[in-house]
Amino acid sequence: MSETKQLEERPCGEAEDGELVPRILRGEESAFEALVVRHQGRVFATVRRYARREDEVQDIVQEIFLKVHQKLSTFRGEAPFHHWLMRLAVRTCYDFLRAHQRNKESLFADLNPGETDWLDRFVAAPEEAGDDEDAARSLVERILEQLSPSSRLVITLLEIEERSVKEIAELTGWSQTAVKVRAFRARREMRKRLGRLVLKKYL
């Protein structure tokens, strides 16, 4: 029996991603299920950066895996499977952000007491306001929700996930120049939003 045949016969849970792909293309459902089980945690974590409501998160993850199945024949195996999967995930999240742009102005009106308190402390003594507090995290979440889809995506990938411009270009399909331009605009947009928040609250 050839080595290839032996590899094909490995249980799905033990097979490498690259071995599962041709099996899925031949119609083996259990191979696709194994791929989903292996990668769904990573996809959930990525999607939760862009969508808050759990029902939205689940719908996006489902859409991503359906796209994975539909486009699997385009996976050429030159890079690890999870790189290809993350490209698909990030682009689907970007589509979601573009389709669900929220009412941006209304969100500033209802800062919760924790966020207000954190901002007050920052205004009084900027260095002493901790950045590991829940209030700071929910405040940044609020700011991110007000950014345009491309700004939110680039801030998340570049500044929060600390990815390189090259990586972002590969994930999004944008050129490296476009990533740099969008990053510049995104930082400017974020500063503008923060400035408006401070202006509304303290002046």
Partner 1 sequence: MNIDLLRQKLTHAARLRTEDDSVPYAFEQRIMGSVRAGNLFRSHARVEWGAGLWRAAISCAAFAAILGAFSLWFPGESAVVEDFGVALENAILPTADEALEVL
Which residues form the interface with partner 1 (CB under 8 A)? 25, 27, 29, 32-33, 36-37, 40-42, 44-46, 48-49, 58, 61-62, 65-66, 69-70, 72-73, 122-123, 126, 129, 131-133, 136-137, 139-141, 143-144, 155, 159-160, 162, 187, 190-191, 194-195, 198, 202
Decide whether 113 or 126 has the Cβ nearer to partner 1: 126
Closest CA to 32 of 60, 67, 74, 78: 67
Instruction: State the virtual CA torsion across 79, 84, 86, 90 in degrees, nearest 10.
Output: 130
| Shortest distance, position 199 Cβ to partner 1, whole Å | 9
Decide whether 27 or 113 has the Cβ nearer to partner 1: 27
List the structure tokens of 109: 């009106």
| Shortest distance, position 144 Cβ to partner 1, whole Å | 7
Decide whether 41 or 113 has the Cβ nearer to partner 1: 41
| Shortest distance, position 35 Cβ to partner 1, whole Å | 9
Decide whether 7 or 160 has the Cβ nearer to partner 1: 160
| Shortest distance, position 1 Cβ to partner 1, whole Å | 26
Length of the chain: 203
List the structure tokens of 105: 């102005």
**3-class DSSP state of 27:** coil
Give Cα separations from 99 to 52, 149, 162 (angstroms). 15, 9, 25
All residues at 6 or more sequence positions from 35 whose CB lies less than 8 Å from its CB, including other chains: 17, 20, 24, 68, 81
